[in-house]
Every structure is written in C-alpha cells, then in structure tokens.
Amino acid sequence: MGWLRKLWRGVDATDTAISWTERALYILFGSSVPGIVSGLLIWFAANLQLGLVAGLVVWLAVLMGLLYKAARDADKPTAAKPESEDVPSQPADSGSRQVQEPTQSQAQEQVEQPQARLEERERESRRLERQLASQNSGGMFPSTITSAEIPEDMVSARHIVGGSHLLKNVLESAGEGPRLVGWTFEECWLIGPAVVTFTGPTTVERVEVKGSLDTALYEVDSYGDEASGCIQLDSCTFKDCYFGRMGLAGRPNDQQWLRDKFTFTLP
C-alpha cells in the first residue's frame, strides 16, 4: 500500500501547485475576459470532479432552454401564407416600344367601320324624317312634295335614295313612257296619283302603302301594255319606301304576293 501513499502525495502536491498557479494567473488576468476564462479553465483542472459536475449542469441548462424554445415556437399559430396569384409574365422593357403597323385589311376595316356607321346614321335620319312627314300629313303623303328635278347621277344610275318624288317626274326623267325598267328606290317616297303593276324579278323590302286593301289593291287580267292606264314597274327594287296616292294592280294569282310584300297602313 506504500505506492498508493506516494501517488496521493504526488496528486496533493500537484493540486497545491495548480492552486498557486491559479491564484497567480487570477491576479494577472482577473480584470480581463481572457483572464477570467483562463482562471475558469485552471479551476476546472484543479477541481476536476466539480468541473465535470458544473459542465454537466450547464449542458443540461442549455438543453432545457432549447427544448423550451422549440415547444414555445410550436405553440405559436402560423400565419397562412397568401397564395401567389398567377401573373402573366411580361417581356422585359428593352427601352423602346415597337409599334405594330396595321395590315392592309385592318386599315381597310378601320376606314370602312366609321363610314358604315355614318351611313347607318344617315339612313336612320332619313327614316325619321319620312316618319315625321307622314305624321304631319295625316299618314297619306309628305306635307312637302319634292317637285325639283331628280339629280342626274341618280337618273344615270337608275338609283334614287331619299326624298319625296312624284312618280310622273321619275317617268319624265327615265324617258321610257309609262314604264320604269331596272330602277332602285331606297328610303324615299313615291307619290301618285298612279296605279302600278310589277313585272319581272321584283324586290320589295319594308314598303308601306298609304291606303287600304279595298282602295289601293286592284285586280287585272294581264300585265304590260294590255293593262291600260297602269304604269309598269319592270325588274325594280324597293327598300324602305312609302307609296302615297298609289294603287297596286295584279293578276288574281298575284294578289296574295302583293298582300305579303306590301304593308297597307289604312284599315
């Protein structure tokens, strides 16, 4: 057992030396952070068992702190992250914008659309004028009848648009006797007195006759020259027109066609 006593004396001597060294270093570096750290390390070396216990306590404290922080963060409600809206990507601005020149068809459409709207407004304006004239005249014919000559361009084109026209003036302009061939009348009044017959391919769209079936619709046995006293309208077109003081004559098998195509505005 003698070797144990020698070992213990050596350990005791070493402990004493370390203690004095600790005191010396504390005096030298105690006022600074490195001195404090050095002093703690020397103290842990001199008191190994206490140092292990202190280290274990510090480690447990740190571990408990981390566990507590993790538990607290888990209890906090997490804010819902707003869903990002799909925004279409836009090309990066290169500093200058390129203007796409319209194609020829697009340019033509841009010109035709305002013109079409203008024509529609003019057509509606003429329709309202005719309606107002019809109301002012008691529904029979316009209060002011145009007696001036028909414009030459309309006569040459055989296409009359707008206005109120005496049928006898139209016949004089055509110069074909009691007959009109291939004429087009659009948005206008035709004023008699006259009885007309229709021959050839005839187009009738929205035409009003200011009269009744009893006073404005006549039955004849034949057309053309054999229908004495009638004005022959051959292969003509009528769109949005009004007939005033005019009678319509047709063969028996054409009476229904006249009733369907023309609107008689008086009972």
67 and 151 co-located in one domain:
no
Q: Which of 72, 91, 122 is the last residue before a domain boundary?
A: 72
pTM for the full model? Answer: 0.49
54 and 147 co-located in one domain:
no
Q: Tell me if residue 23 falls in helix, strand or coil.
A: helix
64 and 140 co-located in one domain:
no
Residue 168: name the closest of 200, 201, 191, 185 by CA: 191
- Print burial letters for 96-107: b (CB count within 10 Å at least 16), e (below 16): eeeeeeeeeeee
Pairwise CA distance, residues 231 & 178, whole Å: 5
* 173 belongs to a structural domain: yes
Please give the pLDDT value at position 186. 94
Task: Give the structural domain span for 25.
Answer: 2-72
Tokens matching residue 32: 């600074």
Cβ within 8 Å of residue 163, ≥6 positions away: 146, 188, 189
242 and 170 co-located in one domain:
yes
**pLDDT beneath 70: ranges in the chain:** 1, 3, 11, 17, 19-40, 43-49, 77-102, 104-112, 122-148, 222-226, 267
Per the structure, the count of domains in the chain is 2
* 43 belongs to a structural domain: yes
177 and 64 co-located in one domain:
no
* 229 belongs to a structural domain: yes
* 172 belongs to a structural domain: yes
Tokens matching residue 116: 């079409």
User: Cα–Cα–Cα angle for 106, 111, 116, nearest 5°?
Assistant: 115
68 and 149 co-located in one domain:
no
Pairwise CA distance, residues 43 & 36, whole Å: 10
254 and 166 co-located in one domain:
yes
Please give the pLDDT value at position 262. 96
* 107 belongs to a structural domain: no
**Torsion over CA: 26, 29, 35, 36 (sign):** positive
Strands (E), the chain: 159-161, 164-166, 179-181, 184-186, 189-199, 203-210, 217-219, 231-234, 237-250, 262-264
Q: Which residue has 């006549």 as its token pair? A: 218
66 and 142 co-located in one domain:
no
Please give the pLDDT value at position 70. 84
* 25 belongs to a structural domain: yes
Q: Which of 57, 72, 87 is the last residue before a domain boundary?
A: 72
Pairwise CA distance, residues 6 & 22, whole Å: 24
Q: Which of 50, 72, 94 is the last residue before a domain boundary?
A: 72
Residue 33 backbone class (left: φ over 0; alpha: ψ -120 to 50; beta: rest) = alpha
* 35 belongs to a structural domain: yes
66 and 152 co-located in one domain:
no
35 and 146 co-located in one domain:
no
* 79 belongs to a structural domain: no
